[in-house]
């Protein structure tokens, strides 16, 4: 099939156009690409061929220069790309610049500056509370409804979809063990998340208000926050998760610009507690996103978490993250936190899906509590787009190797 | 005084030679410098003038290329610099490349990749435990003696000595408050720490053993981990400190190579608990450092924390940080955690020095519990060097601005 003749309703049609970084076989040269169906368009090549002023921005080994260019440029580039791929008069020019996805290598699309991970699903937080604090009177901690809880993760171990993940080793200690033992994690888990990618930096000492969210955040990707629950349980008091999370975080190879997701904007769940002014979004435009995530283990769908149920929005997370004056850099990445909906089949971690191993999943290839060596986890998602179309998000996939 | 005729016993003599990055007045050009007394030697200029093969490495706007070059190159460069500044035959050549410190601008000496902060002083951990958990049977948490507790901080807000720090705003909630309130922190604190700077990267999935510490870590600096105790108290459960720390972390402008500190190596305190093999340093060379830190508030010394009392060494911290397969990058920075000794005047935070505000410090300019706007905090330090000399560490200083 000719690359421009996509099947009707293809979730990666010209209404989508996510950005990535690719290289051709036998070449070390990385450059910006845009996904169209099951092809990638060499965006810099297209810009040069068609005389665009943005060619230099798109002929780079990472998206960072485009991210840094700001919202006006983001719109101009997207508008040009949309015109190029939809106007048949350009197709002869562009045809040699379209490569089948199966023929290219996809790379980490941007250099990660700081990585922050949030904890924004009320259902996930309540499930975790019920599992780990079964005797507590409230499954939510007292601060949870007042601020989006978050922490910094390791930017240097963010990897692109398709990268194998080595099972981490570390210390664990069951309450009944006399001393900690060392070895490969026996409770390796996933967390299905959405990652937000910062484009425009901010100045140290200057908070970014809720209303400026779209001036700073370029787009989003799917994110799997691999987690070793046994390591986490022993190490996390009092300074939070460290080695339980820092061995790998996988992101999709495609960053979907927020502009492609306008039709997916929804109001977040009703706020049950009054919010301080810097977090109060009751009079702002809807800042939630209706993303329908699917979690597959070895090809079998085990969960379908709805992102629309997240209590805290990405705009609130950005406002919170900077309210103390912390600055943003181009390439900052922040994860939403595990996406879990209210229903059992909407839980975004094996911790919740198996209730910490008590209720194994029955899969065609056997029972699962936590991940086994060789397991492949794939997150995919789509969002409502214009004219009844779906906007596909790039999948994030990873295989567990023995540690 | 001629720059090469240092006073006898100058702590920044030719036995020291810490590295930094400077620019001359009116110039945007940053380049590598080496401190000699109260002057900076243009290291790249010297290398070019004297025909060194390392000139390119030293003519860069950050130390990162030198950091990445590895231990053999680190030794060669240091050895050349030592020869140049001690051999009078080179002094005429070098004289124009020496600039008074007062005439140059010092910059953040390296690009920070990931920033991790540890919690390695037993005295600090016990003081914090006694203050925050007065009813606990043990002031130490159960995991503390088994692993070096750490967490990731914000790399993008690491600033060089001399940078003003804006008092952060955030949420706080006293147990008696019905709801959180928002405003500038009322308990802004310091943490006197030592920062370790990683040069040589490691591969994801491959732990770095204790014995390889000096193949990866280039040197150290002083570090002030500014902390908002009121923000921290409300936000930190269950994922650790976030906004309480992320607004600013100050480091000295000079990175002291580990090679300059050989005479300061000491054994860490006796281990009271058996250690897992990857942390067991009982049969390794001494990995502690005898650094004598001084904390001054508005010019008055308020504490003298001894780094030699730290329970966990930097080598153990590196082994722990990577034991799960997390990779290292050039420019990774990790803080030791607050350095507190056993005596009251050896505590490295106002939290401990004032016992959370209960016992104000009496200073010539008034009482202090936590920091006030306009306060200037300066950490300085020295270590025993060869032949009875002292090795000075670059100071880290910062002034608090109203938020």
Spell out which residues of chain A touch residue B157, defining contact as CB-CB under 8 Å: 204, 326-327
B2: confidence class by pLDDT, cuts 50, 70, 90? low
Minimal-distance CA residue of chain B relative to A170: B324
pLDDT at A2 over 70: no
d(CA A323, CA A318): 8
A338 annotated ligand binder: yes
Task: Find the helix or strand (DSSP H, E) in which B215 lies.
Answer: helix B213-216
Query: Which of the residues B54, B107, B124, B216 is marked catalytic?
Result: B124
Task: Find the helix or strand (DSSP H, E) in which B214 lies.
Answer: helix B213-216
A149 vs B238: CB contact, 8 Å cut-off? Answer: yes
A276 vs B152: CB contact, 8 Å cut-off? Answer: no
pLDDT at A5 over 90: no
A328 vs B241: CB contact, 8 Å cut-off? Answer: no
Spell out which residues of chain B touch residue A239, defining contact as CB-CB under 8 Å: 119, 149-151, 236, 240-241
B324 vs A143: CB contact, 8 Å cut-off? Answer: no
Cis check: omega of the bond before A363, within 30 degrees of 0: no
Query: What residues are paired with A390 via a beta bridge?
Result: A384
Smallest Cβ–Cβ distance between B239 and the set A119, A173, A247 belongs to: A119
For chain A, what percent of residues have pLDDT higher than 90? Answer: 95
Rg (CA), chain B: 21
A238 vs B149: CB contact, 8 Å cut-off? Answer: yes
A117 annotated ligand binder: yes
Residue of A146, A167, A223 lying closest to A380 (CA atoms): A223
Question: What mean pLDDT is predicted for residues B338-367?
Answer: 97
pLDDT digits (tens, 9 = 90+) for A200-211: 999 999 999 999
pLDDT at A171 over 80: yes
Task: Find the helix or strand (DSSP H, E) in which B335 lies.
Answer: strand B333-335
pLDDT at A212 over 60: yes
CA distance A159 to chain B (A): 10
pLDDT at B1: 44
CA distance B22 to chain A (A): 22
pLDDT at B4 over 90: no
A175: confidence class by pLDDT, cuts 50, 70, 90? confident
CA distance B272 to chain A (A): 14
pLDDT at A3 over 90: no
B283: confidence class by pLDDT, cuts 50, 70, 90? confident
d(CA A131, CA A128): 5
Question: What mean pLDDT is predicted for residues B357-382?
Answer: 97
Question: What mean pLDDT is predicted for residues A275-279?
Answer: 98
Residue of A187, A208, A63 lying closest to A131 (CA atoms): A187
Minimal-distance CA residue of chain B relative to A173: B143
- Is residue A151 within 8 Å of residue A333, measured between CB atoms? no
CA distance B243 to chain A (A): 6
Ordered DSSP codes for B63-97? SHHHHHT-HHHHHHHHHHHHHHHH-GGGHHHHGGG
Spell out which residues of chain B touch residue A321, defining contact as CB-CB under 8 Å: 243, 246
Smallest Cβ–Cβ distance between A325 and the set B166, B234, B323 belongs to: B166
Three-state DSSP at A56 gives: helix
Question: Mind listing the domains of chain B with CATH numbers?
Answer: 19-107 (2.30.30.230), 115-401 (3.90.850.10)
Spell out which residues of chain A touch residue B153, defining contact as CB-CB under 8 Å: 152
Q: In angstroms, what CA-CA distances link B265 with B59, B82, B123, B383, B389?
A: 31, 21, 20, 9, 14
A150 vs B321: CB contact, 8 Å cut-off? Answer: no
pLDDT digits (tens, 9 = 90+) for A135-144: 988 999 999 9
CA distance B363 to chain A (A): 29
pLDDT at B331 over 70: yes
pLDDT at A160: 98
DSSP label of A141: -
Catalytic residues of A: 124
The full length of chain A comes to: 403
What is the overall mean pLDDT for chain A? 97
pLDDT at B112: 98
pLDDT digits (tens, 9 = 90+) for B312-322: 999 999 999 99
B180: confidence class by pLDDT, cuts 50, 70, 90? very high
pLDDT digits (tens, 9 = 90+) for B158-178: 999 999 999 999 999 998 999
Minimal-distance CA residue of chain A relative to B318: A243
Question: What mean pLDDT is predicted for residues B1-20?
Answer: 88
HEC states along A154-179?
Answer: CHHHEEECCCCEECCEEEECCCCCCC
B191 annotated ligand binder: yes
pLDDT at B225: 98
Q: What ipTM goes with this model?
A: 0.97
A1: confidence class by pLDDT, cuts 50, 70, 90? very low
Question: What mean pLDDT is predicted for residues A267-291?
Answer: 94
Q: How are beta strands B192-198 and B188-189 bridged, if at all?
A: unpaired
Spell out which residues of chain A touch residue B236, defining contact as CB-CB under 8 Å: 238-240
- Is residue A293 within 8 Å of residue A381, measured between CB atoms? yes
B284: confidence class by pLDDT, cuts 50, 70, 90? confident
Three-state DSSP at B352 gives: helix
Spell out which residues of chain A touch residue B276, defining contact as CB-CB under 8 Å: 171, 180, 182
Smallest Cβ–Cβ distance between B171 and the set A147, A155, A168 belongs to: A147
Question: What mean pLDDT is predicted for residues B238-252?
Answer: 98
d(CA B333, CA B367): 34
pLDDT digits (tens, 9 = 90+) for B104-130: 999 999 999 999 999 999 999 999 999
For chain A, what percent of residues have pLDDT higher than 70? Answer: 99
């Amino acid at each position: 099939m000719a690359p421009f003749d996509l099947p009707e309703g293809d979730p990666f049609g010209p209404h989508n156009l996510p950005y990535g970084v690719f290289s051709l076989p036998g070449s070390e040269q990385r450059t910006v690409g845009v996904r169209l169906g099951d092809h990638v368009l060499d965006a810099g090549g297209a810009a040069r061929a068609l005389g665009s002023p943005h060619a230099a921005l798109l002929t780079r080994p990472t998206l960072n220069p485009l991210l840094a260019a700001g919202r006006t440029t983001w719109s101009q580039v997207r508008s040009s790309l949309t015109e190029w791929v939809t106007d048949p008069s350009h197709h002869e020019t562009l045809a040699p610049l379209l490569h089948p996805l199966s023929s290219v290598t996809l790379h980490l699309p941007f250099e990660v500056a700081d990585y922050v991970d949030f904890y924004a699903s009320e259902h996930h937080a309540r499930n975790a509370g019920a599992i780990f604090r079964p005797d507590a009177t409230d499954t939510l901690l007292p601060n949870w409804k007042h601020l989006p809880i978050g922490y910094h993760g390791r930017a240097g171990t963010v990897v692109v979809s398709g990268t194998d993940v080595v099972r981490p080793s570390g210390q664990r200690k069951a309450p009944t063990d006399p001393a900690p033992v060392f070895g490969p994690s026996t409770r390796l888990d996933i967390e299905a998340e959405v990652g937000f990618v910062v484009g425009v930096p901010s100045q140290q000492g200057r908070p970014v208000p809720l209303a400026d969210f779209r001036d700073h955040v370029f787009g989003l990707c799917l994110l799997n926050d691999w987690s070793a629950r046994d390591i986490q349980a022993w190490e996390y008091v009092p300074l939070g998760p460290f080695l339980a999370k820092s061995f790998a975080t996988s992101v999709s190879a495609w960053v979907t610009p927020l502009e492609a997701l306008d039709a997916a904007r929804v109001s977040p769940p009703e706020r049950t507690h009054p919010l301080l002014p810097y977090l109060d979004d009751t009079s702002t435009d809807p800042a939630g996103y209706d993303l329908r995530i699917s979690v597959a283990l070895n090809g079998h769908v085990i969960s379908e978490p709805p992102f629309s149920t997240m209590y805290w929005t990405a705009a609130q997370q950005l406002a919170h993250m900077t309210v103390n004056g912390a600055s943003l850099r181009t390439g900052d990445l922040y994860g939403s936190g595990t996406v879990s909906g209210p229903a059992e089949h909407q839980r975004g971690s094996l911790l919740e899906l198996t209730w910490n191993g008590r209720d194994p999943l029955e899969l065609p290839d056997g029972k699962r509590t936590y991940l086994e060596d060789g397991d492949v986890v794939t997150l995919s998602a789509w969002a409502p787009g214009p004219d009844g179309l779906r906007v596909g998000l790039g999948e994030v996939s990873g295989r567990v190797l023995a540690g």
